[in-house]
Chains A and B, each alone.
Chain A
Amino acid sequence: AQSVTQLGSHVSVSEGALVLLRCNYSSSVPPYLFWYVQYPNQGLQLLLKYTSAATLVKGINGFEAEFKKSETSFHLTKPSAHMSDAAEYFCAVSVRDKLIFGAGTRLAVHP
Chain B
Amino acid sequence: NAGVTQTPKFQVLKTGQSMTLQCAQDMNHNSMYWYRQDPGMGLRLIYYSASEGTTDKGEVPNGYNVSRLNKREFSLRLESAAPSQTSVYFCASSEGNGGGEKLFFGSGTQLSVL
Contacts and interface: CB of A to CB of B under 8 A. Distances in A.
Interface of A: 6, 9, 32, 36, 41-46, 49, 51, 90, 94-104
Interface of B: 4, 31, 33, 35, 40-45, 48, 50, 58-59, 90, 92, 97-103, 105-108
The A contact surface, by secondary structure, is strand
B99 A96 contact: yes
Contact of A99 (B45, B50, B98): B45
Contact of A43 (B31, B50, B107): B107
A99 B105 CA distance: 13
A95 to B, nearest CB: 8
A71 B54 CA distance: 37
Nearest to B38: A103
A4 B40 CA distance: 13
B40 A9 contact: yes
A101 B46 CA distance: 13
Given A41-B107, A43-B4, A98-B58, A32 B42 contact: no
27 contacts: A32-B100, A41-B107, A41-B108, A42-B107, A42-B108, A43-B90, A43-B105, A43-B106, A43-B107, A44-B43, A44-B92, A49-B102, A90-B43, A94-B99, A94-B100, A95-B99, A97-B48, A97-B97, A98-B58, A99-B33, A99-B45, A100-B45, A101-B42, A101-B43, A102-B42, A103-B42, A104-B42
